[in-house]
């Protein structure tokens, strides 16, 4: 007797597992060869033309100045330091832009589904305008609007003799703690951790038992009361450095450059329009039955939105929201056109030209954007996972 259900005999390499493995090996091999070829070819090309290569230039003196830097930087600093200055500037702009776009975007999304005809219409008009005009144009619009509308330093718009607005930027008083500053910082960080821990504990308890202790008051305690006590105990004195017109410009204080202001407004308002649509579609994507059930239970309109609709809408909102955050971070590159010193301006612009090392500069710029993209994607994946698991 022969076994009736014996599968037909297979040749070893046609088995599915083996076959797919083979395909992958061949593909990876091809990729590695291509990478090697590109590398070797490029090096050969550069060498033959006598063009410098390698990353040694990063330790050389940069020789140029930048208008905005959160790290110490002078023209004697290195190109490597200039790269980090650019990285921090781009990240700060991205972070501020994301905050602005998110707040504005959620407001727009809620306005879009508002029962108030005028508010809904205004939100629609906003979104249609800001979404359909190329971002670069919007950046130029804000930049030159700021420069042209605002007066020069001598005719600044003055607010209470503390804040000064002119076409060189927005000058604000800078708080300065004269002594014991670090104790206060430590207390602030400790307070932050404490508030976080207490909130999480309360939450866990609530999830387990259905009711947990209130925890909101830990925030003012941790962030305000604790540092304030430290401030008084250490006898530190807080003073404000007020900007002062000296010579051609104001000096002292905190300065928000017109480039920063315009880039922030441009990026924030543009991405907010997209986020508004995402929020709207997320809200509308929640089953109507949910709203009906909630109102049948007697929940107020505000609570229906806050407790029933938004938590479910977040599942729909988060993935496309992540895409918008990515897009904002990458679009900071356009701010180079209005002299905001970020990666394109400092690395792929000046560093590239002064050293002539285009490949290395472009590689650094690409690594930066890739790193930012992957980080944002990772954070948003984590949030998404949480929303899917816990609902908030």
Partner 1 sequence: MMKLLTATTAITLAGTGLALAGTIDDIKARGHIQCGVTQGVPGFSNPNDAGDWTGFDVDICRAVAAAVLSDADAVRYTPLSNTERFTALQSGEVDILSRTTTRTLNRDTALGLNFAPVVFYDGQGFMVRESSGITSALELDGTTVCVSAGSTSELNVADYFTANNMTYEPVRFEKADEVLAAYDAGRCDVYTSDLSGLAARRLVMQNPAEHLMLKETISKEPLAPAVRHGDDAWFDIVTWTVYALIAAEELGVTAANIDQMKAEGSPDVQRLLGSSETGTGEWVGLDNDWATRAIAAGGNYGELWARHLGPDTPLKLARGLNELYNNGGIQYAMPIK
Residue pair 272/108 in contact by the 8 Å Cβ criterion: yes
60: CB partners within 8 A, 6+ apart: 78, 79, 355
18 near partner 1 (CB under 8 A): no
Site string for partner 1, 190-229 (x = CB under 8 A): ----------------------------------------
355 near partner 1 (CB under 8 A): yes
DSSP labels for 159-228?
Answer: ETTTEEEETTEEEE-EEEE-SSHHHHHHHHHHHHHHHHHHHHHHHHHHHHHS-----TTHHHIIIIIHHH
Token digits for 329? 């971070």
Residue pair 150/165 in contact by the 8 Å Cβ criterion: yes
Which residue matches tokens 């400790």?
190
Compute CA distances 305 → 65, 115, 222, 243, 312, whole Å. Answer: 50, 13, 30, 45, 10
Choice from 9, 48, 115, 302 touching partner 1 (CB under 8 A): 48
List the one residue out of 129, 166, 169 whose CA is nearest residue 151.
166
Residue pair 283/310 in contact by the 8 Å Cβ criterion: yes
Choice from 18, 20, 65, 306 touching partner 1 (CB under 8 A): 65
Stretch that binds partner 1, among 20-28, 47-55, 319-327, 379-387 (CB under 8 A): 47-55
Distance of closest approach, residue 20 Cβ to partner 1, in angstroms = 31
247 near partner 1 (CB under 8 A): yes
113 near partner 1 (CB under 8 A): no
Distance of closest approach, residue 84 Cβ to partner 1, in angstroms = 17
Distance of closest approach, residue 175 Cβ to partner 1, in angstroms = 22
User: Which CB, 45 or 204, lies closer to partner 1?
Assistant: 45
Site string for partner 1, 114-143 (x = CB under 8 A): -----------------------------x
Contact residues for partner 1, defined by CB under 8 A: 38, 41-42, 44-46, 48-52, 63-67, 75, 143-144, 147-148, 152, 167-168, 246-249, 251, 258-259, 333, 336-339, 341, 344-345, 348-350, 352-356, 358-359, 362
């Amino acid at each position: 007797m022969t076994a009736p259900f014996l599968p037909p005999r297979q040749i070893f390499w046609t088995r599915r597992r083996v076959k797919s493995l083979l395909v992958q090996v061949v593909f990876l091999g091809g990729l590695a060869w291509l990478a090697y070829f590109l590398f070797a070819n490029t090096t050969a090309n550069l060498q033959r033309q006598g063009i410098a290569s390698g990353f040694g230039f990063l330790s050389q003196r940069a020789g140029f100045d930048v208008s905005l830097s959160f790290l110490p930087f002078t023209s004697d600093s290195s190109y490597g330091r200039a790269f980090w200055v650019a990285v921090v500037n781009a990240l700060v702009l991205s972070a501020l832009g994301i905050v602005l776009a998110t707040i504005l975007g959620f407001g727009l999304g809620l306005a879009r589904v508002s029962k108030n005809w005028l508010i809904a219409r205004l939100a629609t008009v906003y979104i249609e305008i800001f979404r359909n005009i190329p971002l670069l144009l919007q950046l130029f619009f804000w930049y030159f609007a700021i420069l042209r509308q605002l007066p020069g330093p001598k005719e600044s718009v003055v607010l209470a003799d503390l804040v000064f607005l002119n076409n060189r930027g927005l000058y604000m008083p800078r708080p300065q703690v004269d002594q014991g500053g670090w104790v206060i910082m430590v207390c602030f960080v400790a307070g932050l951790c404490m508030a976080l821990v207490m909130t999480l504990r309360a939450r866990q308890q609530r999830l387990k038992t259905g009711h947990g202790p209130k925890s909101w008051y830990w925030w003012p305690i941790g962030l305000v009361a604790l540092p304030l006590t430290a401030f008084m105990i250490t006898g530190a004195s807080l003073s404000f450095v007020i900007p002062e017109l000296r010579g051609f410009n104001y000096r002292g204080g905190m300065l928000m450059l017109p480039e920063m202001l315009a880039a922030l407004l441009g990026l924030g308002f543009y991405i907010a329009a997209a986020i508004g649509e995402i929020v709207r579609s997320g809200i509308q994507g929640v089953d109507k039955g949910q709203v009906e059930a909630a109102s049948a239970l007697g929940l107020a309109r505000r609570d229906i939105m806050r407790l029933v609709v938004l938590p479910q809408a977040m599942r729909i909102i988060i993935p496309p929201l992540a895409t918008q955050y990515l897009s904002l971070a990458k679009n900071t590159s356009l701010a180079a056109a209005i002299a905001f010193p970020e990666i394109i301006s400092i690395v792929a612009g000046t560093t590239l030209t002064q050293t002539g090392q285009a490949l290395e500069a472009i590689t650094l710029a690409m690594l930066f954007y890739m790193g930012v993209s992957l980080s944002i994607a990772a954070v948003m994946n984590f949030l998404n996972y949480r929303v899917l698991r816990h609902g908030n």
